[in-house]
Structure 1
Amino acid sequence: MEGSKRPAYEAHLERSRRMWDRWSDYYAMSERDLEPMREAAIDRLPLESGDRVLDVGCGPGVNFERLRDAIGPAGQLVAVDYSPEMVAKARDRVERHGWENVEVRRADATAVAFEEPFDAAVATLSLSVMPDVRGAAENVYSHLVPGGSFAVCDVRPVPTGPLRVVNPILRRFFRWYANRNPDGDVLESLRTVFDECEVLETYWCGIGYAAVCRRADPSEA
């Protein structure tokens, strides 16, 4: 990363930490409401028993149970989040369920490194609040096996139609509520980085969306 961009990057990261530490006690209020959007993305991942999965910006672990059901006790789920309070709540969820194959790390998703690759990854309502959206997408891509998939659900301003007039208000709300990165276009970044990217579903006039992207497998050519 260029030195001139680093202070802004660090400032955004720290603001996200403070914000999501604060919201960690209330995240469960929206967990059930947003479940259909999250599940639409996760259910399109070709997960199998024994797979390794990465949960990017895992929050309090709302995806853990569904992912673990898919990969079984022989699989491994690794989750990362930058908020210490979110990480604490995710670890508490793991402990309460006795999940021995789920690991939660506090880390910056743009920079975190792993020794082993993943068969799939998921990011639900997290990429758009990161200080370097494309950098996060590139890091996920680099840690997927060839043929690996990345399920994403997130929010954005209204993409088309007359309701775009409310976008200035939406942008301010997203910034206030979640520290959304105003310069980070999640779908554009995903389409630039990944070899395939498909929007599966849209919600609330296109504000919410679920997508699945894929890293190409040269052996399939």
Structure 2
Amino acid sequence: METGRNPDRPDGSRDSDDRYRAHLERSRAVWDRWSDYYGLSERDFEPAREAAIDHLRLEPGDRVLEIGPGPGVNFERVRNEIGAGGELVAVDYSPGMVANARDRIEPRGWENIEVRLADATTADFDEPFDAALATLSLSCMPDIRRATETVYRSLAPGGRFVVLALRTIPSGPARILNPLLWRFFRWYANWNPDGDVAGSLAAVFDECEIVDTYLAGSAYTAVCTKRDAA
């Protein structure tokens, strides 16, 4: 599992709250900047995103939560799996990405997909979801642990959370590239270097496993499950 510093914000810490807000606002600015150009990288990660959705094991009629959907690059595949009788609710903090995601929905008449402008750490939902997905988004959030807790709380018992995330290279001679990767991830996506995606997932979910790795381990997919009610 990935290691790193504790992403939790100490209760009552004004400095931590200020850092959280600053990171959130940088994320909004970064992803608004990329909202019209995301297609440049959309194809690069398509095989990894498709494999991540495979791990969700979706069925017709399922209700799915997507955290940080960007311009909705996963919408068509997810909707093909859940059918017109299912529902997809997507949450993103970037107004530019939300606008582009809605632009993808409207001409296709996908009435069972809803995109909300919201912070994933504080979002609240009326009904539980059967599955949740985050591709290349969770590792960019200012409080990864709280976002993970939001997903766990929002899933029905037995629900799966599949995460495609970024990190520096964990082992091997390619680690010499980590300083460059750190700077690139930070510039490109406002990546959170203090966050610990895999550690947060393991701490919050009842079962969690890294099932796929890419690019010398700098990208990976984790599958996490909320235990069935006793």
Give TM-score scaled by structure 1 length: 0.97
Q: Distance in 1 between matches of 2:180 and 2:40?
A: 23
Q: How does 1:59-208 map to 2 (within 5 A)?
A: 59-208=70-219
Map of 2:12 onto structure 1: 2
Map of 1:211 onto structure 2: 222
SS in 2 for 1:55: strand
Q: Distance in 1 between matches of 2:77 and 2:156?
A: 21
Unaligned 5+ residue runs, structure 2?
A: 1-10
Q: Deviations over 1:7-37 (max 9, x none)?
A: 1101000000001000111101111111111
SS in 2 for 1:176: helix
Q: Distance in 2 between matches of 1:115 and 1:166?
A: 44
The answer to whether the 8 Å contact 1:146/1:218 transfers is: yes
Q: Deviations over 1:35-77 (max 9, x none)?
A: 1111111101121111110010010000100111111101110
One-letter amino acid of the counterpart of residue 180, structure 2: I
Q: Distance in 2 between matches of 1:216 and 1:122?
A: 17
Q: Distance in 2 between matches of 1:168 and 1:33?
A: 22
Q: Deviations over 1:109-162 (max 9, x none)?
A: 011000111000000000011000111011100000000000110111001112
SS in 2 for 1:174: helix
Unaligned 5+ residue runs, structure 1?
A: none
Q: Distance in 2 between matches of 1:2 and 1:46?
A: 40
Map of 2:61 onto structure 1: 50
Cα RMSD for the two superposed structures: 1.0
Q: Distance in 1 between matches of 2:178 and 2:153?
A: 33
Q: Distance in 2 between matches of 1:29 and 1:198?
A: 30
Q: How does 1:35-46 map to 2 (within 5 A)?
A: 35-46=46-57
SS in 1 for 2:56: coil
SS in 1 for 2:57: coil
SS in 1 for 2:81: helix
One-letter amino acid of the counterpart of residue 2, structure 1: G
> 1:2 Cα shift?
3.2
Give TM-score scaled by structure 2 length: 0.93
Map of 2:27 onto structure 1: 16
> 1:218 Cα shift?
3.0
The answer to whether the 8 Å contact 1:38/1:210 transfers is: no
Q: Distance in 2 between matches of 1:31 and 1:218?
A: 37
Q: Distance in 1 between matches of 2:188 and 2:61?
A: 37
Q: Which stretch of structure 1 is more off in the superposition, 113-122 or 167-176?
A: 167-176
SS in 1 for 2:217: coil
Q: Distance in 1 between matches of 2:51 and 2:59?
A: 17
The answer to whether the 8 Å contact 1:50/1:75 transfers is: yes
